[in-house]
Structure 1
Amino acid sequence: MERSSVGFLIPFYFFLLGLIVLFSLILLFQGIAGVGREDDLTNTIFVTSGVMGLIVTFYMIRRYQVSVQKMLKSRKITVVTVEECLKCNYKNIRPFREGDFVYGQGGECPKCPKDSEDSFENRMLITAIYLDRGTQEEKP
């Protein structure tokens, strides 16, 4: 299906579920209001239909939630950090690590000569952190 038709079907699906909930509640209250009158079989059918409608509706909503959760878990998302050396313009793309932030210090530049005195100048600068959409893949 196309993305636009899916965008239309989901609200329509929940609109129908809302109508079923409303109809089930009406049946349930009609059955409860009629208790003690002559026609006990009709009241029992109303109450049973109302309760079953509510159970089925909440089951369908839960089933939709589980399918969305499975879809989100099935994607492997990769966040990457881009480091650049200010001296030689060497660029390194590596996986994101906890504590990374833009314009923070990255690792040491492998291209520049290592001076024991100025290890701070040998550091690379983190210039970007983003979601790598090119490596997103679905798990089987």
Structure 2
Amino acid sequence: MTEQRRGSLYFYAAVFFSLGVLAYSAWLIISSAASYSEGQKENFYYSLVLGLMGVALSVSSLTSIRRRIQIIKAQSIRTLTVEFCEKCSFKRVREFKVGDYVQKNVGKCPQCVGDLLISMIYSETPKD
């Protein structure tokens, strides 16, 4: 099984489990209201507390899963820097480095020994 498929299987299992806990917790809260109307106070408190804890845990889990998905998507975006020589039109694309900015002189051109400047910085999403 590939790593990506295993990760998506884990994702779906975690979401399914969290939704199941949320549904069961909602049922506990509803049944606690029925217990209260029947006069079973200890059953009411037990069901209400467990139901509220289940709702809190499942909402927390779903929020955490959503945050992880956003982080994974952000990591898949590549930021690239384009170095360009105005003298001979030499162009080189490389990964972005901290401190890069447009019009920064990054050294000499390997072809004509002119100034090599950063002409563009852009982000690219992977092609799936």
TM-score using structure 1 length: 0.55
Structure 1 position 17 matched with structure 2 position 28: no
- Give the unaligned 5+ runs of structure 1: 101-105, 114-123, 132-140
Q: Pick closer, same or farther for the CA change 1:2–1:15 going to 2, 3 Å.
A: same
Q: Distance in 2 between matches of 1:6 and 1:71?
A: 11
Higher alpha-carbon Rg? 1
| Aligned-pair CA distance for 1:92 | 4.7
Match of 2:88 in 1: 88
Contact between 2:101 and 2:121, CA under 8 Å: does it hold in 1? no
Percent identity among equivalent residues?
13
Which structure features the higher share of helix residues? 2
Superposed CA RMSD: 4.2
Given the alignment of the two structures, is residue 97 of structure 1 paired with residue 101 of structure 2, yes or no? Answer: yes
Aligned length, in residue pairs? 115
Per-residue Cα deviation, 1:62-88 (whole angstroms, up to 9, x for no partner): 44456567778889x642114254x63
Range 27-36 or range 62-71, more displaced: 62-71
Structure 2: give runs of 5+ residues left out of the alignment: none
Instruction: Find the counterpart in structure 1 of residue 54 from structure 2.
Output: 53
Determine the C-alpha separation between the residues in 2 that align with 1:30 and 1:17: 20
Instruction: Name the TM-score, length of structure 2 as normaliser.
Output: 0.59
